[in-house]
Amino acid sequence: MRKETATPSFLPLYEQIKQLILRALSDGEWQPGAAIPSEMELARRYQVSQGTVRKALDELVMDNILVRRQGKGTFVATHADDGTAYRFLRLMSLSGEQEYPHSEFIVFSRGKADAQVASRLGVSPGSALAILRRVLTFSGAPVVYDDIRLPAALLKGVSIAMIEDHVNAHKGTLYSLYEAQYQIRIIAAHERIRATLADAVVAPLLGVAVGAPLLAIERVAFTYKNQPVEWRMSYVNTARHYHFDELN
């Protein structure tokens, strides 16, 4: 006799706990860098055993949403940490050394979403965007040109001076700025990589000839619940650097 199940969805307890914790994070109950309650406290709060909480936390740690520190507690991941500040930067020098870039901001303006960006960000074509353009330099040499766009509503009252101050004076990343000033927490991103030729706009910014080969990397960055919040196009001069990728 076959059993008929109208509701085939069986969600494990730890998965439900994970969703509850994600919602608490999304609701801002715990701020980036702060400790969340201990495993025992969460177990009492959600009326499950500590092992079940632990399994939920395991997955959130695996997703780089939380960070465990033995003896201290479990913390909300932050882009302000020195260790994780550049975790989305996959660029290395040919010698294999990881270098950290300096940002030169060129433009901060407003614009409207074209069809492609609108589709990627899940907003209507023509809706207002904040547009940020910059050059990343490594050891003084320009290597990356970024064209970065976000829904304008997310970045209210921002100025290029504020951005430069945060990123350069305080040695932060754009993502740590989003996090600290705009309650936007980037937790994942997708990248589409193609090869292209430097055009008359990008070539002088990167100090290469028109027609030089560049990586064109289109990135969409996500916050909780896989909601896209930032789109960017990066043009990378790989004469002295490479994009690194691990497969398994």
Partner DNA sequence: AAGTGGTCTAGACCACGTA
Partner DNA sequence: ACGTGGTCTAGACCACTTG
Return d(Cα 39, Cα 72) in angstroms, integer. 12
User: Which residue, 14 or 145, has its beta carbon nearer to DNA?
Assistant: 14
Taking CB under 8 A as the binding criterion, the range among 26-34, 141-149, 159-167, 189-197 that sits at the site for a copy of itself is: 189-197
The verdict on 238 binding a copy of itself (CB under 8 A) reads yes
The verdict on 147 binding DNA (CB under 7 A) reads no
Task: Please say whether the beta carbons of 100 and 137 come within 8 A.
Answer: no
The verdict on 1 binding DNA (CB under 7 A) reads yes
Collapsed DSSP state (helix, strand, coil) of residue 135? strand
Return d(Cα 18, Cα 10) in angstroms, integer. 15
Residue 108 Cα to chain centre, angstroms: 19
Contacts of 58 (CB under 8 A, 6+ apart): none
User: Which residue, 37 or 86, has its beta carbon nearer to a copy of itself?
Assistant: 86
Return d(Cα 230, Cα 172) in angstroms, integer. 17
The verdict on 190 binding a copy of itself (CB under 8 A) reads yes
At residue 204, φ and ψ (nearest 5 deg) are -65, -30
Binding mask 39-78 for DNA (x = CB under 7 A): xxx------xxxxx-xx------------xxxxxxx----
Taking CB under 8 A as the binding criterion, the range among 24-32, 57-65, 107-115, 131-139 that sits at the site for a copy of itself is: 57-65
- The residues binding DNA (CB under 7 A) are 1-2, 10, 12-15, 36, 38-41, 48-52, 54-55, 68-74
